[in-house]
Amino acid sequence: MKVTKFNDELKHMNPQQLQEKLEELRGRLFSVKLQTKTAHVKNNAEFKLLRGNIARVLTFMRNTKQQSATQ
């Protein structure tokens, strides 16, 4: 998924949905890490992509928390 499309998707999520997305991404990252220990991973770039997406979700969560605090 392209970064801009992912960012647009995150903008339309509420805090609960952002939390669920974060848990999903962390689960996928764990699965990929586990696969590297037990078998061969087809796409090593997925690590970087998942870590970047987790960081984006955390950033959006922090921004929404700050916006709600200032209002």
Q: What does the domain layout of the chain look like in residue ranges?
A: 3-65
The Cα-based distances of 56 to 23, 24, 61 in angstroms read: 13, 14, 9
pTM of the model: 0.86
The pLDDT value recorded for residue 1 is 62
CATH architecture label of 3-65: Orthogonal Bundle (1.10)
CB atoms within 10 A of CB 31: 10
d(CA 41, CA 17): 29
What radius of gyration do the chain's Cα atoms show? 14
pLDDT per residue as tens, the chain (71 positions)? 677 888 889 888 999 999 999 999 999 999 999 988 888 778 889 999 999 999 999 999 999 888 888 87
Give the number of other CB atoms < 10 A from CB of residue 65: 11
pLDDT of residue 3: 74
> According to the model, what pLDDT value does residue 24 have?
97
- Amino acid 4: pLDDT: 82
